[in-house]
């Protein structure tokens, strides 16, 4: 459902109630400027997207991180004269 911004300003509660059953697209001068969606539907979509991202992370192997301080490695390099 498309509505003009001026209509939304007049009766915002009406359009937030309508958003419980369908997305409400807000326009100004014929251009889309926003969308009102049901919070419950948006929360479910956010959870689904987070789950997909998590599964993508699990499927890719992790890369070693050399930024972690390793005192044993430092001492070994000092012993070899590679660190001052």
pLDDT for 11-51, tens place per residue? 999 999 999 999 999 999 999 999 999 988 889 999 999 99
Residue 20, domain CATH: 3.40.1620
From first CA to last CA, the distance across the chain in angstroms is 69
**Sheet holding 31-36: strands in order across?**
2-4, 24-28, 31-36
Tokens standing for residue 54: 């998590």
- Whether residue 32 lies inside any domain: the answer is yes
- Whether residue 28 lies inside any domain: the answer is yes
Are the beta carbons of 5 and 26 closer than 8 angstroms?
A: yes
Beta strands in the chain (DSSP E): 2-4, 24-28, 31-36
- Whether residue 22 lies inside any domain: the answer is yes
Whether the predicted pLDDT of 64 surpasses 70: no
- Per the confidence metrics, is the pTM higher than 0.85? no
**What pLDDT band is residue 78 in, cutting at 50, 70 and 90?**
confident
- Whether residue 15 lies inside any domain: the answer is yes
| Structural domains counted in the chain | 1
CA dihedral 39, 43, 49, 54 (to 10 degrees): 160
**What pLDDT band is residue 59 in, cutting at 50, 70 and 90?**
low
């Amino acid at each position: 459902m498309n509505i003009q911004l001026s209509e939304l300003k007049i009766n915002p509660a009406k359009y937030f109630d309508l958003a419980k059953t369908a997305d409400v697209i807000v326009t100004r001068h014929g251009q889309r400027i926003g969308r009102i969606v049901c919070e419950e539907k948006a929360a479910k979509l956010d959870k689904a997207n987070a789950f997909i991202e998590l599964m993508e992370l699990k499927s890719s192997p992790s890369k070693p991180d050399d930024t972690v301080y390793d005192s044993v490695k430092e001492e070994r390099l000092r012993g070899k004269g590679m660190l001052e």
